[in-house]
Structure 1
Amino acid sequence: MATRIKKVRIPLYIYLFARYFGAGVIVATAFIHLLDPAYAEIGPNTCVGMTGGWAEYSWPPAIALTSCMVVFLMDFAAERYVEEKYGLAHGLSAEQTDAAAGMQRHGSIDAAALRYSMSHRPSHLAAAPHHSHQHLHSGEQDYPALSPANAQSTESKELEMGNGSTEVGSIDSEKERAVTTAFQQQIAAFLILEFGVIFHSVIIGLTLGTAGAEFSVLYPVIVFHQSFEGLGIGARLSAIPFPRRLSWMPWWLCAVYGLTTPIAIAVALGVRTTYNAGSFTANIVSGVLDATSAGILLYTGLVELLARDFLFNPDRTHDDRRLTFMVCCVLLGAGIMALLGKWA
């Protein structure tokens, strides 16, 4: 809502807290809430793990590794597809390609930055949109970021006064292509992340819906668990530059996440008299889903969320105080979720 309603302003540190606390939550979820339960369900020392082909190998890490590699291949294929579709790998020099690829990788493509890498125009033209990216992705600026529409309007006005309407049309075309490229890559990474989280939400709903005496302990823990995960994916979703024709998509993605667990709970309540969470088949299904989700969230958490923000982001803030805050948020999120693993 803050990206669409001008009067709604989220303080910078609140946004950074949600973004990086959520990243820590997602990484801890992969290890503590998914991979560990998978061992308890289909690991070597379980009923499933000591039966038939399940006894021949330690399957939880193998399944997690497989899903991690599949996500890597999907991510790589999506990035190559976008590069080929928009000609970024062929129409630029080696130096310009590297610059453009770096901006694409972090969802940071904007018209001014891409134009500068391609034609080396004066840097003052890139100032406003570049600050917009830093505000969303690295917290470099304290003032509110320009929306894509406002940034495009401001840049067009500057160029109209200096260079005429022909160049404005060219720059607008570049910006449209750049924003589309950024959207394609960011939404692909986000959908993979949400897919892994939704897998886990289904298991949580089934567990809560069939809980017995442990419900009073399980319920508040799962409420916190789902809230923290929602905080993390919501902060990531807010930074994706959705085109106007897809303005409905973020609402739909939020609804899918919010409704998955309640629907799973309703299903579990309907079959609780016949569903046995400790049965052989139930353990196989939940164990495979947990291990698969663990691999997905391990890749997205470590690569898409942490590595790309902290290690490979050329626009990362140089403010040590802000960096310390961001790192502490990651550690706090991971620590709290690891602690919740004691109960659920």
Structure 2
Amino acid sequence: MADNQYLSNPTSVNLDTADPRDVICYMNRSDQTYSGSLGVHVSAIFVVFFVSTTFTFFPVVATNVPKIKIPLYVYLFARYFGAGVIIATAFIHLLDPAYDEIGPVTCVGMTGGWAQFSWPPAIAMASAMLVFLLDFGAERYVEKKYGFMHGSTGGQQPGGAKHASMDAAMLTYSMSHRPSGIANHHQSHQFLHSGDQDGTAPDRLETKRHDDVEATSIDIEKEHAAETSFKQQIAAFLILEFGVIFHSVIIGLTLGTAGDEFGTLYPVVVFHQTFEGLGIGARLSAIGFPRRVRWMPWVLCAVYGLTTPISIAIGLGVRHTYNPGSDTASIVSGVLDATSAGILLFTGFVELLARDFLFNPDRTHDDKQLAFMVCSVMLGAGIMALLGDLRNRAVEKQHADFYLRQMGISPASPAMAAIKLGKMLQRRRYDRVAWTTALYAIEMRGVGVSRV
């Protein structure tokens, strides 16, 4: 392997003899450059906790507290905007960073077994297939236990099963905003009493008993249908939250250990957690929880709200020893990002979009409402993609500034840096890979330099 002195002195790199891996590792290398006010970093713990928790709890509170009245379109916006957020998170905030951490053109990706295959898409595919098997296995278990076939039509299902398979969001919304129903016990009693007067009570009584047996049977079938629907929905949601929590841990560690790029990452993470929390809460509020587990949605919301702040606190604790550019950190975050991407891709397209738009027999036929739902999905995906671009620019700026410092150029003075870099290039003091990156750093700061 070529001489590795470039790790401390980039002037020693000779592109004619250097191993390509050495050059890539130099490009990917970073040091621990934590800086900034500790107080501002600590404030991020509380701000992120507040926005994550508030926006996650809001849809759950709105659908479980009858006194809170929210318009239908507000609820639909939260639900489908969140679906777009989840899908964009998988592509932009997880799969793309995984390529930067363990992809083919990274230091890790050109080392040992990592160089034998493009691992980010393989890991994402494996996690998506695993989620499919878990989801399919869970549905088959519930079907066998309760004796129902998945996807049966209304005439084949037991009484009430079709009602239980109704779009959960609309069912939950309507149940939480309707007036109390009137029991029909009084009507039955009145009907029986009138039979006593006309002499037909025995026949009427027998008929009523038969009706009561049928009603009891239907009630049991409805309970089974509701239990089936709940188990399938909560299994899908837990898989979704599992993937999101992986991502939240990485976000928290990144923000807690951030250096110069903290000022850019901070607002990006706040908005990211806001939108993602809204999506998680909207999906959770659509599940009809049985009375025995009414506590579960509140706990699941709290888990999401606490994960990123706790990770930020951990990042602050190890800020002087944790090196996000090390091979170990890159491998761990890359594998977790790719795994979470596969989970969220399957969940986003299958559980969130396909089941709501393609395979839902109770989907609305109102074109205006459907258009609103689709536009909400697109808006959520678009905003999260924009946040991903801002995040990537912040990370690239951090790396570029690191390269400039390695070359003895102050990132704080772009104009002087451009002049100094131009002179260095004329004397060929640095290889083209290193100075092209430094040039990019200067151009990011608004100073154009002609490439030589």
RCO comparison, higher one (Cα < 8 Å, 6+) = 1
Question: Which residue, out of 205, 216, 223, partners 1:176?
Answer: 223
User: Which residue matches 1:220?
Assistant: 267
Q: Deviations over 1:185-237 (max 9, x none)?
A: 00000000000000000000000000011111101111110111111111110
User: Which residue matches 2:153?
Assistant: 99
Q: Deviations over 1:252-296 (max 9, x none)?
A: 000000000011111111111110011110000000000000000
* Displacement of 1:6: 1.7
* Displacement of 1:133: 4.3
The answer to whether the 8 A contact 1:187-1:240 is kept is yes
Q: How many residues align?
A: 312
Are residues 1:145 and 2:178 paired? no
User: Which residue matches 1:316?
Assistant: 363
How far apart are the structure 1 equivalents of 2:384 and 2:104? 26
Question: Which residue, out of 47, 53, 57, partners 2:107?
Answer: 47
5+ residue gaps, structure 1, are 90-95, 104-110, 118-128
Question: Which residue, out of 31, 34, 40, partners 2:91?
Answer: 31
Question: Which residue, out of 374, 378, 401, partners 1:327?
Answer: 374
Q: What is the TM-score with the length of structure 1 in the denominator?
A: 0.84
* Displacement of 1:165: 3.2
Q: Deviations over 1:312-338 (max 9, x none)?
A: 111111111111100000000001111
Equivalent position amino acid for 2:322 in 1: Y
Are residues 1:240 and 2:293 paired? no
User: Which residue matches 1:21?
Assistant: 81
Question: Which residue, out of 317, 331, 350, partners 1:303?
Answer: 350
Larger radius of gyration: 2
Are residues 1:65 and 2:125 paired? yes
User: Which residue matches 2:66?
Assistant: 6
* Displacement of 1:99: 1.7
* Displacement of 1:174: 1.6
* Displacement of 1:138: 8.7
User: RMSD of the TM alignment (CA)?
Assistant: 2.8
User: Which residue matches 1:86?
Assistant: 146
Equivalent position amino acid for 1:30 in 2: A
How far apart are the structure 2 equivalents of 1:18 and 1:134? 15
Structure 1 residues 176 and 27: alpha-carbon distance in aligned structure 2, compared to 1, 3 A threshold = same
Question: Which residue, out of 151, 161, 169, partners 1:136?
Answer: 169
* Displacement of 1:342: 1.1
Q: Deviations over 1:102-150 (max 9, x none)?
A: 98xxxxxxx8543xx7xxxxxxxxxxx68x94582499xxxx6125998
Pairing of 1:244-283 with structure 2 (within 5 A)? 244-283=291-330
Q: Identity rate of aligned residues, in percent? A: 69
* Displacement of 1:172: 1.9
Tell me the secondary structure at the aligned position of residue 174 of structure 2: coil
* Displacement of 1:7: 1.2
User: Which residue matches 2:427?
Assistant: none
* Displacement of 1:54: 0.4
Deviates more, 1:161-170 or 1:207-216: 161-170
Q: What is the TM-score with the length of structure 2 in the denominator?
A: 0.64
* Displacement of 1:159: 9.3
The answer to whether the 8 A contact 1:64-1:293 is kept is yes
Question: Which residue, out of 67, 75, 94, partners 2:135?
Answer: 75
* Displacement of 1:176: 1.3
User: Which residue matches 1:343?
Assistant: 390
The answer to whether the 8 A contact 1:35-1:294 is kept is yes
* Displacement of 1:175: 1.6
Q: Deviations over 1:153-192 (max 9, x none)?
A: 7586599578543333222212211111111000000000
Structure 1 residues 14 and 69: alpha-carbon distance in aligned structure 2, compared to 1, 3 A threshold = same
* Displacement of 1:64: 0.3
Q: Post-superposition, which runs of at least 4 consecutive aligned residues in structure 1 deviate over 6 A?
A: 100-103, 148-151
Equivalent position amino acid for 1:59 in 2: W
Equivalent position amino acid for 1:331 in 2: M
Are residues 1:210 and 2:257 paired? yes
Structure 1 residues 135 and 84: alpha-carbon distance in aligned structure 2, compared to 1, 3 A threshold = closer
The answer to whether the 8 A contact 2:160-2:222 is kept is no
The answer to whether the 8 A contact 1:138-1:317 is kept is no
User: Which residue matches 2:235?
Assistant: 188
